Structures are given as C-alpha cells and as structure tokens.
Amino acid sequence: MPELPVAPSFRLDGKRALVTGAGRGIGLAAAAALAEHGASVTLAARSLDEIEAAAAAIRARGFAAEAMQLDVTDLAAIGERITRAAPFDILLNNAGCNRPGPYVDATPEDFDAVMGLNVRAAYFVAQSVAKRMIAAERKGSIIHMSSQMGHVGGRNRTLYCASKWALEGLNKAMALDLAPYGIRSNSIAPTFIETEMTAPFFADAAFKTSVLDKIKLGRLGQVEDLTGAIVFLASDASGLMTGSSIVIDGGWTAD
C-alpha cells in the first residue's frame, strides 16, 4: 500500500499570537479563533477595559488570552511593549481606520490619520514583532488585514485605497526580507464586513444596495467569513505561502 502524505495541522498549540485592534469586530473574532486553535493570544488596543473584557470572554471558553493596552500609533510604546513581551510567533496586523469622502475634500489631517494607522503603525508593529522573532530565532507568520480596496479602486475611498495598496506592497517586500529567517508575511483582503465600524455606512440604503450589487454572492461579509483564512495563514497549513494576499470579497474583484 502507498504511504499517504499527512496533511499539515491547523493547530497552533504552543504558539503566541498578537492581535492589534482586538477589542471588537474582526480583531476580536480573530483573537477568539486563534485561541480556539491552541494559540496563547495577546489582545492589543487602546481601550484597556474593552480588551480585558474580550480576553476574559476567551478565557471563559477555556482558552488562553491576555490584554495589552497599546496605542499602535505611539512608536515608543510599540517598541517598549513588544520588546518587553516574550517573542510572538503570529501577528495579526489588524488595527485600522477609514475616512471616506470625495478626493477633492480630503484634508492633510485625514491623510495623516488614515496613513498613520493603516500604514505607519502597521509597518512598525510588524517590524518590532519581526525583530523579536529574529533575535529569538523563531519562525513565524505575520498577517496584515488589508482590503479588497488594496486591489481595486473605489469612489470616495482614495485615502483608504492608498493605505491598503501601500500595505499590499509592504506585505510583498517584507516577505522577501524576512524569508531568510523563516518568517512569512501575507495579507487578507476582505470585502465589506458587518461590524460596529461599518454599521453607519449601511444605514444608508442606497450605499448598501450599491455594495451588494458588487458582491456577487449577494451578501455582506461576516467576521466568521475571515477567521478560517486567519487560522490558515497562522498555521503550518500555509507553510509555503508568503508575499500573497487572500481576497475574501464574494466576487467583488472578479470582474
């Protein structure tokens, strides 16, 4: 009888994971999924009460989680908190924001806010985590929460598109620099996901209709639609994957 190959595991036992923007929405769902698959998860965000409650909820389900109060736009705080922590094996670079509006109305303050969080903070959080991985000689997986808007354009989304296209470029270049250390870098590019952050947009019936017209599967995304890809990229199941983007958009970018 032939010797059958053994499929790589999606389990994350013994791994340490850091999730930014983890108090709600995609970040919270990701933290819960990583913990469910065996990782010890650190939830990072500015609001300590929110992430402490989230970590407690994960622990109540029998999984390992702790809170780290962190403003990812504060570079000194990033360096201090991540350097002081034990090395992570997994990073989900999830913290982000959006200020939609016509291109001609965008202000320098809008630009700095979106690029500062979506690109600058993501860059230096990942750098700090990668440095710790390298120093500890640990292979790892860095996952950037990008967007379908990092692959296409969108009306009233110039700032968001600029930031997510930048993140996709960073992802590919990071993958090349970190590959010699066994550290992988990939991104996830969702369509519109129903969260507290996006809820105000969908209160506009015309906007919601325009979105659903572009999502070929005919529904808005849910956070659960992303967690399988997150666990996949964090695990050995994606061991040969780096510099890539998983687009979870219901067919938005297919035409």
Tokens of 65: 């989680």
pLDDT at res. 146: 98
pLDDT at res. 156: 95
Q: What is the CATH number of the domain that holds 125?
A: 3.40.50.720
CA 153 to chain centroid: 20
Residue 121 inside a domain? The answer is yes
Host domain of residue 230:
16-245
**pLDDT averaged over every residue in the chain:** 97
Instruction: Express each pLDDT in 2-39 by its tens digit.
Output: 999 999 999 999 999 999 999 999 999 999 999 999 99
H-state helical runs in 37-145: 48-60, 75-84, 108-115, 122-135
Model confidence band, residue 201 (pLDDT cutoffs 50, 70, 90): confident
Residue 192 inside a domain? The answer is yes
**Residue 160 among the catalytic residues:** yes
- Which of 103, 123, 160, 181 is catalytic? The answer is 160
Residue that wins the pLDDT comparison between 196 and 241: 241
The C-alpha R_g of the chain, in whole angstroms, comes to 18
8 Å CB contact between 144 and 118: no
Residue 2 inside a domain? The answer is no
Number of folded domains that form the chain? 1
Residue the block writes with tokens 């999502």: 215
Residue 77 inside a domain? The answer is yes
Residue 40 inside a domain? The answer is yes
Instruction: Express each pLDDT in 212-226 by its tens digit.
Output: 999 999 999 999 999
**pTM of the predicted model, to two decimals?**
0.96
Residue 9 inside a domain? The answer is no
